[in-house]
């Protein structure tokens, strides 16, 4: 495999292995992540979240459910490399679902 590196779990060995491959690694655009906390069950937001994902195909969106004090909610995480696209998706989701950006 051309772009996969398997590293040892022992810290000192991992560090030595990492030093040998660092000069050959190239960087890409940084991955940006934004989280929207929604105090509604995941089942209630699935439809609008799917629509938002379709409307913003260059972004990755995931829903991570939680229970806090007996109430269901979801953290929706939006990831991508373009801040403007992420902000637009976040605005769309907030208008559809409410919630607070973190």
Residue 18 lies in a domain: no
Q: Is the pLDDT of residue 75 over 90?
A: yes
Residue 24 lies in a domain: no
Q: What is the mean pLDDT of the chain?
A: 89
- Cβ-count burial of 38 within 10 angstroms (0-12 exposed, 13-18 middle, 19+ buried)? buried
**Model pTM score:** 0.72
Going by the DSSP 8-state scheme, the letter that residue 44 receives in this structure is: H
How many structural domains compose the chain? 1
The DSSP H or E segment spanning 13 is: helix 11-21
Contact present, 50 and 91 (Cβ < 8 Å): no
What CATH number is associated with residue 54? Answer: 3.30.70.2860
């Amino acid at each position: 495999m051309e772009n996969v590196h398997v590293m040892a779990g022992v810290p000192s060995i991992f560090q030595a292995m990492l030093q040998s491959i660092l000069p050959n690694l190239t960087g890409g655009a940084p991955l940006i992540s934004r989280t929207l906390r929604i105090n509604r069950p995941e089942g209630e937001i699935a439809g609008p979240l799917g629509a938002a994902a379709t409307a913003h195909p260059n972004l990755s969106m995931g829903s991570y459910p939680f229970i806090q004090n007996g109430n269901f909610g979801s953290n929706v995480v939006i990831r991508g490399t373009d801040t403007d696209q992420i902000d637009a998706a976040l605005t769309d989701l907030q208008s559809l679902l409410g919630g607070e950006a973190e």
